[in-house]
Chain A
Amino acid sequence: MLSIRNLHAAVDGKEILKGIDLEIKPGEVHAIMGPNGSGKSTLSAVLAGNEAYEVTEGEVLLDGENLLDKETEERARDGIFLAFQYPVEIPGVSNLQFLRTAVNAMRVHRGLEELSAVDFMKLAKETTKQVDLDPAFLKRGVNEGFSGGEKKRNEILQALLLEPRLAILDETDSGLDIDALKVVADGVNALRSPERAVLMVTHYQRLLNHIVPDYVHVLAGGKIVKSGGRELALELEERGYGWLGIKDSDEVEAG
C-alpha cells in the first residue's frame, strides 16, 4: 500500500530524514520508535504533506501513485490520516461543523452523497461514545479548552469518522494517563482491519502493550537502524537505545 524509498527531508535547510525505506501492506500495524530528535515526527509530517518540510530526495508511493506530488488535502482524501501530537485549536468553529465538513469532503471524493446535518449528528454521537467523549464535545470549538487527553481522544474520533486507509499516529500516547491510553488504544484497535494500515510513532513501549504491532522499526539519526517484530520493542524497553549504539539525546525534536 505505502512504499517509502530513500526518503530524505529537511526543515529550514537542515536535513532530518536521511534515507528512509519502508513498506507497509494493508492490515499491518507498524511502530516507529526512536529517541528524541531522531526524525519520527518529521516522517509523519512529511507523509501528511506539512509544507514546512522539504523533501530533498526519494519517493513515496501510495497504491503505486506518487504521494509527494499531491496536496495535503488530496492525500487526506486518498486515505492518509494524521493524528496530531499537539492538536491545534480553532476557536468558534464547532467540532461538529468541522467534522461534518471533513467527512463530507471525503464522501464527495469517494463518490458518496454528503451527510445531512441530522444524519451526521447521529453518526458523530455514536462515535463519541466509542472514545468515551461526552457528545457535548461536538458543540464546543475544535480542541478549544480541551484537556490533553480530550484532544487525543478527539483525534481518534476523527480517525474513526474519516475511515482512513493509513492512520499515522504521532506520539498519540504522550501525556495520557493509563485510562485515557486504554481508551485511545481501544479506538485504534477498532480501526484495525484487513484493508487498513496503522503507522504508530512513539517514544515509549507502553502503547504497544495495548496496540500490538506487527513490525517495530527503530529510527535514529534520520535512518531506520533496526527492524524487527514485537519483541524488538520489549528489548528496547529493557535495554534502552544504548545497545544499538544510539544516544537518547534530550535535544528537542525538530518535528
Chain B
Amino acid sequence: MANTDKQVNELIKREYEHGFVTEIEAETFEPGLNEDIIGRLSAIKKEPQFMLDWRLKAYRRWLEMDEPNWAHVGYPKIDYNAISYYSAPKRKEDMPQSLDDVDPELLKTYEKLGIPLHEREKLAGVAVDAVFDSVSVATTFKEPLAKAGVIFCSISEAIQDYPELVQKYLGSVVPAGDNFFAGLNSAVFSDGTFVYVPKGVRCPMELSTYFRINAANTGQFERTLIIADEGSYVSYLEGCTAPMRDENQLHAAVVELVALDDAQIKYSTVQNWYPGDENGKGGIFNFVTKRGACIGKNSKISWTQVETGSAVTWKYPSCVLRGENSVGEFYSVALTNNYQQADTGTKMVHLGKNTSSTIISKGISAGRSSNAYRGLVKFGPGAEGARNFTQCDSLLIGDQCAAHTFPYIESKNKGAIVEHEATTSKVSDEQMFLCRQRGIDPEQAVSMIVNGFCKEVFKELPMEFAVEAGKLLEVSLEGSVG
C-alpha cells in the first residue's frame, strides 16, 4: 500500500545524534602507510621488539593480499595511503595515571555519549575502557578487577606489562594472513582492549569498551584480545560512535577471543557508527574480523550484536569449536536504513566432538538499504555428533530495500546435524492497520513490530544494553513511518 511506503520514507529521516566533533589537540601522523610509519607507531607506543617484528611481518604479507570483493556491498576504492594511521589526543604525560589526568574535553565527549568515565557516576557497575581515535584514554574499575585477578587494560599496556600473554595469544585466533583487513589491522593497530580472566574466576562485573572515532581522515584499527582461562566467565560489551563527516572513514578492527576448558565468554556489541547521511554521503566503513576459539572442552563463546550504524558493514563474528562439547552462539540484529549496506553473519567451524552451535540472525532493511546475511557452518572430520541450528529472518520495511541470505554448509562428517530455517517478511499493511485501528501511532507501531521481530536476540543482551538496543532501533527507524 502506497501509504505505508510514504510513512516508511518519513520515518527513515532521522538525524544521527552522536555526530558532534570534539575540538582537541591531537598528535596525528601524516597520511600514508609504509614500514617507517609502522616503526614510528611502534616506537611511540614503546613496544618491545617482538611486536615491531610482528607488525612488519604482517605488513609485508598484507602488501601481497587483495581486498576481498565477494561481499554483497559496493563502495569506492579505498586509498590506503590517504589515511592517517595514528591520531591521539596530546597529553601532558605519556599515559594518564588516573581519570584526573584525562583531558576534560575528552571526559565531556564521553559524557555527551552517555558514558560517564568517573567511577562515582558508574554505569550500573560496568567497567569501561574508552578508546578515542587511536588510543585508550581511560579504563575504569581497574582496582576492584585487579583484586579478583582480572586484567582489564588497553592492549598497549598489555603489550608492555603482560608480553608473555600477548605473545602467546595475539594472532592465535585471527592470524595476520587471515584476510586483507585483518592483515592491515595487524600491521597498524593502535590500541584496543585486553582482558584476561584467570582460572576459576567469574568476572565480578560487566566489562565494556566504548570506541569513538573523532579525528578526520584517520582510520581506527583497534585490537581486542580476551582470554578466559579454565573455568572462568566474562561478559564483555562494546559500543561505537563517530562524528558526522562527509568523507568515509575506515574502521578495521580485529577481535580475538580465547576460551579454555569450561570457560565462557559472552561478547555483546551495540554498533552505532555514523551511517552516512540520507543520501548515502559519508559514514564509516566497518570492516571487522571477530573470531573466538573454543580451545578447551565444554567451553562456550556467545556473540550478540546489534548493528545499526556504519555506511558499509563487513563483519562475521565466528567461533572455532575445537574443544569437545564446546558451544558457539551468534545472535544478531542488523538494521540498515537509507543507503546503508551490511554483509554480516557468522562462521561456526566445528572441529571437536559433540560441539554445537546456534545462529539466530534478524536482518531489518528500510529505505534503500541492502542487508545480507552470510553464514558458514562447517564440520570437520572429527566433529562427531556435532550439530548446528540456524535461523535467519529478514524483515523489510518499505519496498525499496533488499534482503539477501547466503548460507553455506560444508560437512566432512556424516554424523553432523544441521537445521536451517529462513524467513522473509514485511511490516505488512495489515499489521500497521491493526495497530493504528487500535489507536497506536504509526511510529510506535513500527517500533513495536520491529522490536517484536528482534525479541529472541534482545533477550540475550545484558539488561542495560537491551534497553539501549531497543531505543537505538527506535531512533534508527524514526522517520520510516509518518
A87 within 8 A of B: yes
Interchain CB contact under 8 A, B436 and A72: yes
Within 8 A of B (CB), among A48-103: 48-52, 71-73, 76-77, 81-82, 84, 87-88, 90-94, 97-98, 101-102
Interchain CB contact under 8 A, B452 and A73: no
Residues in B neighbouring A51, C-beta threshold 8 A: 1, 3, 429, 433
Among B1, B431, B434, B441, the most chain A Cβ lie within 10 Å of the Cβ of B434
Partner of B439, one of A84, A88, A105, A142: A105
Interchain CB contact under 8 A, A72 and B448: no
A158 within 8 A of B: yes
A220 to chain B, nearest CB (A): 26
B145 within 8 A of A: no
Instruction: Give chain B's interface residue range (CB within 8 Å of chain A).
Output: 20 to 34
Produce 1/0 per residue, A135-173, CB < 8 A to B: 000000110000000000000001000100000000000
**Identity of the chain A residue whose Cβ is nearest the Cβ of B456 in the assembled complex:** A92
Interchain CB contact under 8 A, B429 and A102: no
A183 within 8 A of B: no
B437 within 8 A of A: yes
A233 within 8 A of B: no
B453 within 8 A of A: yes
A33 within 8 A of B: no
Interchain CB contact under 8 A, B440 and A93: no
A100 to chain B, nearest CB (A): 11
CA distance A51 to B1 in the complex (A): 8
Interchain CB contact under 8 A, B448 and A93: yes
Produce 1/0 per residue, B1-40, CB < 8 A to A: 1010000000000000000000000000000000000000
B482 to chain A, nearest CB (A): 10
Partner of A101, one of B1, B429, B440, B454: B440
Interchain CB contact under 8 A, A98 and B430: no
Interchain CB contact under 8 A, A88 and B428: yes
Interchain CB contact under 8 A, A73 and B428: no
Among B1, B431, B456, the most chain A Cβ lie within 10 Å of the Cβ of B431
A98 with B437: in contact, given A52-B1, A88-B428 (CB under 8 Å)?
A: no
CA distance A97 to B434 in the complex (A): 14
A106 within 8 A of B: yes
Which residues of A are at the interface with B, using a C-beta cutoff of 8 A? 48-52, 71-73, 76-77, 81-82, 84, 87-88, 90-94, 97-98, 101-102, 105-106, 109, 141-142, 158, 162
Known contacts A71-B436, A73-B439, A88-B428; 16 further A-B pairs (Cβ under 8 A)? A49-B437, A50-B433, A51-B429, A52-B429, A73-B441, A73-B442, A81-B437, A82-B437, A84-B434, A87-B434, A88-B430, A90-B452, A93-B448, A98-B448, A102-B440, A142-B434
22 contacts between A and B (CB under 8 A): A51-B3, A51-B429, A51-B433, A73-B437, A73-B441, A76-B436, A77-B439, A88-B428, A88-B434, A90-B431, A90-B434, A91-B452, A91-B453, A93-B448, A93-B451, A97-B448, A98-B448, A105-B440, A105-B441, A142-B434, A162-B438, A162-B439
Which residues of B are at the interface with A, using a C-beta cutoff of 8 A? 1, 3, 428-431, 433-442, 444, 448-449, 451-456
Q: Which 4 A-B pairs have the closest CB atoms?
A: A92-B452, A93-B452, A102-B438, A76-B439
